[in-house]
A and B are shown apart, each in its own frame.
Chain A
Amino acid sequence: MMLISIGLSACTDKVAFGDASLDKAAGSEATKDTVFSNAEYTRQFLVGIYAEQYYGLPYVNSSILPHSTNPYAGKSDALTDCWHMGWNGAAIYGQYYTGNLTANVTRSDKLDGPLFSFDGEHVWQAVRAAHIFLENVDKTPGIDATEKARMKAEARCLMAARMWDCFQRYGGLPIIDHDLGVTETTAEFPRNTVEETVNYMVNQLDSAINEPNFPWVTADPTTMSGRWTRAGARALKAKILQMAASPIFNPKDGQPYYQGASESVLPLIMYTDASKYQERWDRFYQACVDFFNDLNANGYYQLTQAEGSNPGVPQYRLAYRKGYFLRSSKEILHSVRHHGYDGYSAGRYCWHSWYSSSVPRNLYWPTQEYVEMFPWSNGDPFDWETAYNYVYNEDGTLKYTSAGTPNASARGLNSMFLRGTETALSQQLINVQLTRDPRLYEEVIVNGLQKNLDWTTGAMSGNIWELWAGGTDALTGITTQTGMFGTGYGYNKYYLGDGNQTGSGDNLRYQTQWVYLSLNEMYLMYAEALLKKSSPNIQQACEQVDIVRARVGLGTLRQRVFGNKAYSDAAYTQKINEGKIYESDALLEEILRERACELGLQDIRWFDMIRYRRTDWMTKQLHGLEMHRLKQNAQGQWVESDTQWTGADKINDATSRQPHYFTYKKVEIFGNKRDQWGKDPQSNDIRKWLLSPFPQIEINKGYGLIQNPGWE
């Protein structure tokens, strides 16, 4: 009876006995043969490699995704002078600011290791997958040769890009050049030299670039954008060669960044042949030229420009925002897409959702140093002293106008973010003018800025950010240096507004893409190449920067920065010849500053720091801005008042007007302070941070890794 019931219950299966009963029943599992005998699955396999790309906006603590997507690791931007991490739960604090990082990584989530993990980033999985694809795609029936050629070119780009992600943080890498078998796990995989690694990546890109079926733009960007193209390949090649030519790997004097690094490690961390120093810059320059020639021939890519005949700062800002944020943006040469939008309290994880007063974790506080990099809205450099002197007397007391109000001069501190007019009709200021570089408001949340920006007109609306001590948004976080606005500023890039998921944010439900390569970066790269090539061309270099500046309405470098003074090719060349210019000069400093303003939170500042060995950015004490609201007391005197406006006076007192006079104090950052601050930037102790440590365990395995200097 029971046996019958067993038979019935199992009637959907064949009941077998003995050995046969242990064979795997039919299931859905596929094998390599399944994949490469089917056109659809072969295409899918390439898509699978796309999913392994670097995404620079940490958003989810997950062991199944690349390590750098983990907010508990953190963004390298916070290791520069432009941002400071205010959350102590991330490795940025625990490993870097404390100086605790070593080569020994013991946690399985690798959070006690480098931000970009050598073995936890899916770099090697992607490289492997690319080889599997390249070695097998020819077998697949049902895909024509044109498409196969295109897909192979994409696979080569994916592989080169993943190696590049790792190379720029570690130096020379082991090159895996084929699909490894299980028996090869005991083989040697020594590190290749910087030269070999660069050439391998560039060769892969060249194969793609030279593939006639590899398009400059995808056939249909509305459905295909995000795929690698020849434009992306050319841009990546230029970027690789830019770093290869930079002092970190290409020291003019042949000296490594780390004094006394052993002979055996030298070729792994630099080009050892200094005689080809200039050749490497010229190779970079040529890659830029090739890119722009291709662009001129094929078009399509262009900077997103402000709309309207007479755009103001908000419209420039909107153009800039659309340029990096929208997936349809034509200035993006390659982007990476993860799941990345806030589903309106749907419990989804994205960059946006990790930054709010209730989830204060991605606390990348812009520093005062960064904010001062942004010029006034016409392009004139911002100068703190000048602005300060408009507002304060020499003895530190406040200046007042004849009307008895604190000073509100156009270039004074009270106008350094915005200015407007008080009116009886509205509690908030009207005729608000944004006074600085439009990009400031997109990179940084500043005091008094309205929270929302209209996606069509660029018009601002909503409550203002209150970032003074006791203000609605900053509250006590200003004096204790905690929370979202510990420096008196918050970041706005990729965030776009109020993140506490009440629905007023500007980017809820927008897919957040990571800009991997973009045209604005190419212009600034080209400027650098023009400056560094044999026979530099200062005029053209400035023009490239001006293209980027013009998009946001800033005046030209010559007019606004160099004051129309002679800054000629001849003078520059002479200085080089006299040995006065080695690693930097005024124009290069401007290019680097422009890159920081244009490409904030896109890893750019960190790699500029590495490239130019600018450890002084690492060791300088950084500052925040402490603001106190000035409020008239019963006697009519202006006194500091650490109180809210939006949540208090504004609703309680209809006559209350938006605060726009404050006291200002630049304060040293003491929250999560960095061990590196105040140390000698040229010491090995600091210089060692320029390249990341390989995991000691991988070195111990003895397959040929040699540790970067300072981490042994």
Chain B
Amino acid sequence: MNNLQLTKGKALPSAVFLFAMLFAPAAGTLPLRASIQNVQQSESITGTVIDNTGEAVIGASVLVVGAQATTGTVTDFDGNFTLKVKPGTQLKISFVGYKDKIVKAANGMRVTLEEESTMLQGVEIVAYGVQKKVTVTGAISSVKSEDLTRTSVGSAANVLGGQLSGVTTVQYSGEPGSDAADIFVRGKGTWGDYSPLIQVDGVERSMNDVDPNEIESITVLKDASATAVFGVRGANGVVLITTKRGAEGKAKISFSTSFTALTPTKMVDMSSSLDYALFYNKMRANDGLTPMFSDAVIQKFQDGSDPIRFPNTNWVDYTMKDVTLQTQHNMNISGGTDKVRYFISAGMYTQDGLFKEFDMPYNCGYQYNRFNYRANLDLKATNTTTISFNVAGNVNNSDKTPNSQNVQGFIKDIYSSVPFSSPGFIDNKLVLTASDYEDVQLPFKDMGHGLGYYRKGFNQISNNKLQMDLMLDQKLDFLTKGLSLKLKGSYNSAYTVTKTGTAGVATYVPILQSDGSIKYRKSGENTDPSYSASQGKARDWYFEGSFNYNRSFGEHTITALALYNQSKQYYYSSTSYPDVPRGYVGFVGRVTYDWKNRYMAEFNIGYNGSENFAPGKRFGTFPAGSVGWVISDEPFFKPLKKVISFLKLRASWGLVGNDKTTTGTRFMYLADPYYISSDGLASNAYSNADNHYGYAFGNGGVQADVTATKGAYEKSKNNPEVGWEKAFKQDYGFDMNFLDDRLRTTFDYYMEHRTDILLLDATVPTIIGFTVPYSNLGEVKSHGWELSLNWNDKIGNDFRYWAKLNLSYNFNEVIEMKEAPQKNEYMYQKGHRIGARSQYKFWKYYYDGAEADYEKEFGKPFPTQLVSTLKPGDCVFVDLDGDGKIDQSDMSRDYGYTDDPQYMAGLTLGFTWKRLTFNAQLTGAWNVSRSISAVFRQPFFRAADTLYGGLLQYHIDDTWTTDNPSQDAEYPRATWENAANNYAGSDLYEKDAKYLRLKTLSISYDFNNAAFKSIGMTKFELTLSGYNLLTLTPYKWGDPEAVASSSPSYPLQRTYTIGLNVGF
């Protein structure tokens, strides 16, 4: 197999493992089959019901014809059924959406149902189980595996945006291995923790741990009806990821491999040395200061005659590669018998970092490798017992720079760097300029250069995660028909090793010799990295036990669920009770009823306990109810059916909760904690806020390290009254199909009212000397709507095409946040969207005569601005409260949008024609903005000051100057003197970040032909695809999803992929 070469040297151990995984279970199936034969000696027959695509039909009823209606069964999750009848008995197989079929019973029979209507097929994953799609009354949307793997991405989160209605994603960063998008379900319902609960196979796990190739579907539960059973965790929506499982049949082998070229979507241009110097001097002249750069220096920059001592380095180009490589390989095998089914997968994902490593002896350029494995096994132990076992995990390695400020600090360093700080490498020496040349002096030197990471060491992080699930499904029909018991236990563990190397670097300063040559003065040495390692670990377990009941009585179908779950997470927090594991307990109940799939009602209840609250307040009850009505099934609807083939109305109401605070405070009800034996001195104790209460008494030794006398202090105040944060959610929607289901639409309108939000009351005096504990005082309201249109049709036999549009809108408003009292309403977050920024309202750049125009426009005298003397080109802000002066009480949250978009849209277009498949996905977001800050806002900004930092080309091109006194300039007059005014946070820097982007594009062709088929090949598909190929946006400061601030993101990537997918 040629994949060994494809994955290069590192893949060898993984490839060995992969094959071991593939063959071990396949060999194991043979003896099992023998034992199955024995079981079949009884009068039980087993069979499988599938549809015409080969998919299992779940929940199909299998009834003995002519017998009493109660003799029969229902197919299970995998379409299997077992019935105690003699072979040859007539059986009626029926399932909603399919035509009924009458067949003779035979052991091992396979019955293929024909679809009645494409719409009605299938099931929907719901909380703790599955439901027939037609009877679903909650707000749920889902996406299938093929939509997640059209192009190669590390995390499925990155291709969700625009695919699912009601889901907003923001991908802030492109950092390999850490580039997963933030997901919001129906926007933010609270300013606290708004991330949804993400479960993989029913257990809370990270989406990034799963190879997208292993995913069968991703389902998003949005309303209370769908999420109430998660009680404590469901308030922010739930994302359920279901991994693939084997289906009965011969082994299917699928192999896919892809190679991807990555390039940043957009980097920000930086100025040249000459422009830097000229702009600097101009800015000083603006403030009446002497020039910083002498004419001699400027001459050097201009003629470039002395490029080593007076260089001009574009640090973005110098340190970042134009293109890097990503590879993804996956091999999986699935299949099974009627007793054993399996899905086994192994995948490898590698991504190269964007940063050049030059001749460094180690990697630190943000490389990332991940190896995923998974085996999902289902074993039918008896006719009534199914045991399933999943084992999955991944090993990943990332190589990062040793910069303690992580990648943001690293990118920040580049944008804050000075173009003449270094010419880069000369004869393999890292040369840094100096400000003390004898002839012409640079005013400052290596205040920042883009090679800050060079030979400074490395930071290698290895993660090893292992996840296991064991499930038992026992049918209890002997107690009462339709009853079953499920038990599930899961265990997750992770182990992280972080190896850090810190090294010294030799740098060289150029010294001009009298003969004009340059010699170098060395400083420092290239040392071998000093080496340190630290370990991190995580383990948690989850247990669930449930009774399920599912039975039809004629046209009435009732299902019920009673479930208990409990989880424990060790090493949960590093700050709040780090030695104490976190636990949850939940009781879940659900009853659903439908009559002929026409009238549906459902009631859910979650009863959940949280460690955070006092006994007695600990448990919260979260009920939810929903109803549905398929109008199109009503007799009176018949005449309309030609146009409207299906119409269902849905409504749901319910309560969901949250127990987490933003700071991760735990056990909020206990006696006030004190911290004892703090032995750290007051210092830069960033990492441990507790440990700086020691004190250095005594005279100490002159050079001795100081030993602290230990200290103790009152750590915080607790509140025994604290309890659940609650969200009351309502959802009203309809599903409506037109023209024989060729066009399917779904619409939902929802409202959410979040109350008792946990917060710290900021209205209390600070001088009480302690921080008030969390209390249930906050309130947020949100609402929105979602629309999805899905057109799917065939022309002839060979051409199938589709178009799918999703549109989501979300509005939220803080109703109460207990903010510290302010002078003006507009200053509060209260009354505004969560995340609304506080900023001045920019009016115009100042000009002679602006005072009169201002007065004319606002009817009020021109206010004193933030500085006493304005010069033309300086920002003029609007005096919102009319008190004649601009101060913080004129900062309003009324302007601009927020980082998370109000509208998100996705459009998928595609077709298949014979063996050619084309798919394009466009994603757009609007009513979203970014506030540019730091070096993106202010020239020469760096963390320490605004004197020696970087300069973007934008400032040179688009700053108000006396030569170009334009009101349309992006930036005001450049100044240090009036910086407090001109670079104050205002809506001038609030930039529209709406975008429309071609998120993915893929074209594939299946080359499978007779020759291939003769060796058993079912597929040989070549795909060309891309990600983030094209972005239309008015936003200029990098990618519109990224952040242009003091912690700028790793650039988002545009990718071009060639992939091969082979099936046997």
Contacts and interface: CB of A to CB of B under 8 A. Distances in A.
Nearest to B702: A510
A690 B20 CA distance: 79
B949 to A, nearest CB: 10
Name which of A94, A226, A476, A671 has the most chain B CB atoms within 10 A of its CB: A476
B676 A32 contact: no
Interface residues of B, number: 109
Contact of A62 (B579, B685, B706, B891): B685
A142 interface: no
Interface in A189-231: 189, 221-227
Interface of B: 284, 288-292, 294, 389, 435-436, 438, 441, 443-444, 447, 468-470, 487, 489-491, 539, 541, 543, 566, 568, 577, 579-581, 583-585, 609-611, 615, 618-619, 667, 670-678, 680-686, 689, 692-700, 702-703, 706, 709-714, 717, 719, 761, 763-770, 772-773, 820-823, 838, 866-868, 887-889, 891, 944-947, 976-977, 979-980
Contacts of A692: none
A88 B769 contact: no
Given A22-B583, A124-B767, A671-B289, A510 B695 contact: no
B867 A701 contact: no
A631 interface: no
A177 interface: no
A89 B945 contact: yes
A405 interface: no
A593 interface: no
B436 A174 contact: no
Nearest to B443: A476
A29 B673 contact: yes
Contact of B769 (A45, A127, A348, A455): A127
Contacts of A41: 674, 676-677, 712
A629 B584 CA distance: 75
B823 A180 contact: no
Contacts of B618: 19, 22
A483 B947 CA distance: 10
Nearest to B674: A30
Contacts of A49: 713
B768 A24 contact: no
Contacts of B700: 327, 511
Among A21, A128, A341, the most chain B Cβ lie within 10 Å of the Cβ of: A21
B310 to A, nearest CB: 14
A338 B945 CA distance: 25
B489 A18 contact: no
Interface in A1-47: 1-3, 5-6, 9-10, 13, 17-19, 21-25, 27-35, 41, 44-45, 47
A28 B696 contact: no
Given A87-B945, A100-B980, A698-B765, A475 B435 contact: yes
B671 A31 contact: yes
A126 B767 CA distance: 10
A469 to B, nearest CB: 10
Contacts of A25: 580-581
Nearest to A646: B436
Contacts of B672: 31-32
B667 A65 contact: no
B468 A64 contact: no
Interface string A658-695: 00000000000011010100000000000000000001
Contacts of B695: 47, 50-51, 226, 337
A349 B683 contact: yes
A309 interface: no
A176 B470 contact: no
Contacts of B676: 30, 34-35, 41, 44
Interface string A67-111: 001000000000000000001110000100011101011100000
A111 B521 CA distance: 41
Q: Is the interface of B mostly helix, strand, loop or mixed?
A: loop
Contacts of B945: 87-89, 360-361
A182 B946 contact: no
A9 B491 contact: yes
A176 B769 contact: yes
Given A9-B491, A189-B765, A47 B694 contact: yes
A100 B867 contact: yes
A47 B693 contact: yes
Given A475-B435, A700-B822, A670 B289 contact: yes
19 contacts: A6-B541, A9-B491, A9-B541, A10-B568, A18-B609, A24-B577, A41-B676, A44-B710, A51-B693, A51-B694, A105-B888, A182-B717, A182-B773, A337-B697, A476-B435, A480-B443, A510-B703, A696-B823, A697-B820
A184 B710 CA distance: 31
A44 B709 CA distance: 8
A60 interface: yes
Contacts of A69: 682
A53 to B, nearest CB: 9
Nearest to A647: B436
Contacts of B289: 480-481, 670-671
Contact of B438 (A31, A511, A643): A643
A59 B609 CA distance: 45
A697 B470 CA distance: 56
Interface in A497-551: 509-511
Contacts of A65: 682, 692
Contacts of A87: 945
Nearest to B763: A701
A221 B699 CA distance: 7
B489 A3 contact: yes
Contacts of B976: 88
Interface in A278-334: 326-328
A6 B543 contact: yes
Contacts of B585: 17-19, 21-22
Contacts of B697: 50, 223-227, 337
Given A124-B768, A643-B438, A24 B763 contact: no
Contacts of B680: 339
B768 A104 contact: no
A470 B822 CA distance: 52
Given A35-B674, A69-B682, A225-B698, 4 more contacts: A50-B695, A221-B699, A222-B699, A327-B700
B714 to A, nearest CB: 6
A573 interface: no
A168 interface: no
A182 B669 CA distance: 13
A55 interface: yes
A288 to B, nearest CB: 27
B769 A124 contact: yes
A358 B698 CA distance: 33
Contacts of B693: 44, 47-48, 51
Given A60-B684, A125-B769, A701-B765, A327 B698 contact: yes
Interface in A351-389: 358-361
Contacts of B891: 106
A428 to B, nearest CB: 19
A51 B946 contact: no
Given A24-B611, A482-B292, A700-B822, A128 B689 contact: no
A129 interface: yes
A481 B288 CA distance: 13
Candidate in A24, A48, A224, A479 with the most chain B CB atoms within 10 angstroms? A48
Contacts of B719: 182
B980 A98 contact: yes
4 closest pairs, A vs B, by CB?
A: A128-B769, A2-B470, A339-B683, A104-B888
Name, among A33, A125, A222, the residue most crowded by chain B CB atoms within 10 Å (CB to CB). A125
Contact of B821 (A221, A482, A701): A701
B292 A475 contact: no
A22 B610 contact: yes
A583 to B, nearest CB: 29
Contacts of B539: 9
Contacts of A348: 683-684
